[in-house]
Structure 1
Amino acid sequence: MQWLTNILQPQILALLIPVIGIIAFFGHKALKSHHQHLERMEKIRKGIDPDANE
């Protein structure tokens, strides 16, 4: 449990929280983009023009 005590120190958390936030932000954007790509590919497979709405 020594590692947990080290991580919970304020000077470590001050660096760790923004790094985790940035990773989570870009991870979310990547997953959202991947999901949109899968939806577009499924529309193409079903014969629907995905660009017709734009």
Structure 2
Amino acid sequence: MQVDARTLLSINVEKTPCHDALSLTEGGNLARIVLHDQVYSLRITRAGKLILTK
């Protein structure tokens, strides 16, 4: 059985967690994200782009 790339992509997308950026920032433009004792900043720019910095 052959599976094309689009099918594999849709299967992976369904299993990947998806989070709304505005929910993470609670309607603002900045959220802090912690990973292994490191704090990162997630910022939504005026142009609507995301920037993740340490």
TM-score normalized with structure 2 length: 0.30
Q: Structure 1 length normalisation: TM-score? A: 0.30
If you compute each CA radius of gyration, which structure gives the higher value, 1 or 2? Answer: 1
**Greater strand content:** 2
